[in-house]
Chain A
Amino acid sequence: MSRRFIPKVVTANRLREGDVVYLTADDQWTLHHHQAELIEDEAHAQLRLLHAAGQKLVVVGAYLADAKAGPNGPEPVHFREAFRTRGPSNYAHGKQVDLTHV
């Protein structure tokens, strides 16, 4: 039996600003991890990644990151992805402050 598929989100950086973004179910790019589409099927994940990779004027370096369902939407699994949702730990820079103004 094949290994159970770990759910994924599609993530990338915005081409112009470099910000970390996530692909939503309705084809938008969001700064919020919990608004991302949680993909539970491997074939669908590949299709969504292809869709993201095609948006060459919007994002760079799209990839699938492990995620899990949470009360408010998808949550990161790995600490690297958790840092990407916030920004650096030495300054209040990046999304951890920028998102409070959104």
Chain B
Amino acid sequence: MYDYTDFDEAFVRSRVAQFTDQVERRLDGSLTEDEFRPLRLMNGLYLQLHAYMLRVAIPYGTINPRQMRQLAYIADTWDKGYGHFTTRQNIQFNWPKLPDVPAILQALADVGMHAIQTSGNCVRNVTADHFAGAAADEIEDPRPYAELLRQWSTDHPEFQFLPRKFKIAITGSPHDRAVTAAHDIGLRMTRNMGGDAGFEVFVGGGLGRTPMIGHLVRDFLPIEDLLPYVESVLSVYNTLGRRDNKYKARIKITVHETGRDEIARMIEARFAEVRPLFGGADQALLADIRAAFAQPDLQSRSVADYDSAYSSNPVFRAWADTNLSAHRKGDHAIVTISVKAHGQTPGDATSDQMRVIADLSQTYGYSELRISHEQNVILPHVHKADLPAVHAALAKVGLATANVGLLSDMIACPGMDYCALATARSIPVAQEIALHFEALKLEHDIGALKIKISGCINACGHHHVGHIGILGLDRAGVENYQITLGGDATQTAAIGEKTGPGFAYDEIVPAIERILRAYLGLRLHAEETFLDAYRRLGMEPFKLALYGSDGASDAA
């Protein structure tokens, strides 16, 4: 993976020194909160419901064992012994104290990490396919491009005060695991007729209060045009984006109001101006970055140990069936470590768990790790013969839950248990759904299912693109949960449709059960997934299951 150059190191250290001074001046009264707030947000520090929260970037979800151990150390030293992996491939610490934050940032800098641009109206952490560099279906590893974008966008003077935040996602595979359609810019690698790799460019996707699927503005962008083109998109948005209304300031609204064709034309016009200014330094840099992402030297040996464990150990087999994905090298596998044990908080890992993950990565995983936007941790390269040992080690620390891609592998934002913006809780809803269906032993029967829960309209929990989406709202001072069905986060992206009136906190789990029992009764066969069944049947049978024959129309 990419290691900091002297330049990166100096930049991050100077930022830590700067912020250390700013914290001191806030604590001695030289800075008011109004003056300090934008400065702390630039360094990822929020004030939440019960405490400060520090959001640390994990660029494109890639992290090494040393960094993971340092996160564990930070959790133990300055927090409450755990961290929360987010849908933006970041990690959040929920309990730092303001005077300790400079020391935390120093500890992060010691391992080449930071919290810069994890907040504010700038280009945020660039996210990528969490199977990057390992997936069997990959055209190219997207991370060198993500790293190029990270370096270009960090402290970019033109884009520090955009109309609103800006999120870029990139995938190197035709199977979109990076939700590119729901980002301000989504980049999907593709090949042209001549076999050259390049990008399909989508602009104007986003979730939040006005969910939209991105529009294709370029069907083939050559690799060498990536930076000038992305800069052109940002430039058009920076000029055109609305600054009069925070809720209409994202590029999705700009695209919606301007029209896809006109935006595409403006981007191309700007690109014609910008392109000649790029003299090739970016391509030289890209070549260096590519070298840093050289593939590990994958070993070849017998998979007999895997085969024998698979046939003799049913617990291992269940885990292998759900938590492994196809690696580009046949005798290896991609391991998804489920950070979703039934009843636990989705995405929360204890410091002990982090250390075990780091050790496993080092011993069996070529020292590579990824964090997924689905709040799990990935060991991207594990030889199959080592999988029984990996599974056994994970089981000792509660990380061997065999549920990846199933009902309890839910995304849940922190919700009103932590977040100052939330309108309802998310985490206990996720916990109760997981425990309820675990007790019913229905999860494996239901099969592939994405439930995604957000505790407010800002949609950090991606509820719009969940097969079943749950949105927590405050209705007249009471928590109320709205359900959407049919969302899809992949290359066939779709925004879910509202079922009708919402449900009270104690009604939401039974409501989800009614939907899923209806699905089990209606599916053509066990291989027809919930999403497929919904697409075949439409909303009506599920509405009927939820509200009864006349409930929906009465309550609407």
Where the two chains meet, the residues of A that have a C-beta atom closer than 8 Å to any C-beta of B are 13, 15-20, 56-57, 60-61, 77-80, 83-84, 87-91, 93-95
Contact = CB atoms under 8 A, between A and B. Distances in A.
B98 A13 contact: no
The 7 A-B pairs at the shortest CB distance, nearest first, are namely A88-B417, A18-B51, A18-B52, A90-B427, A90-B345, A94-B50, A89-B428
Interface in B1-56: 26-27, 29, 32-33, 47-52
B417 A15 contact: no
A84 B50 contact: yes
A87 B97 CA distance: 16
Contact of A18 (B27, B98, B416): B98
10 contacts: A15-B27, A16-B98, A18-B48, A18-B50, A18-B97, A61-B47, A79-B416, A89-B417, A94-B50, A95-B50
A15 to B, nearest CB: 7
A91 B474 CA distance: 23
Contacts of A90: 345, 348, 417, 427-428, 431
A89 B49 contact: no
B506 to A, nearest CB: 13
B27 A16 contact: yes
B80 interface: yes
A18 B478 CA distance: 26
B416 A19 contact: no
Nearest to A84: B49
A48 to B, nearest CB: 18
A80 B418 CA distance: 10
Interface of B: 26-27, 29, 32-33, 47-52, 80, 94-95, 97-99, 345, 348, 416-418, 425, 427-428, 431, 474, 477-479
Contacts of B99: 16
Nearest to B345: A90
Contacts of A88: 50, 94, 417-418, 427
A19 B418 CA distance: 12
Nearest to A61: B47
Contacts of A95: 50
Contacts of B431: 90
Contacts of A80: 49, 416, 474
Nearest to B348: A90
B347 to A, nearest CB: 11
A10 B93 CA distance: 27
A61 B49 CA distance: 11
A57 B428 contact: no
A76 B227 CA distance: 52
Contacts of B33: 15, 56, 60-61
A5 B427 CA distance: 34
B479 A17 contact: no
A2 to B, nearest CB: 21
A50 B492 CA distance: 53
Given A79-B478, A79-B479, A80-B416, A87 B50 contact: yes
A78 B416 CA distance: 12
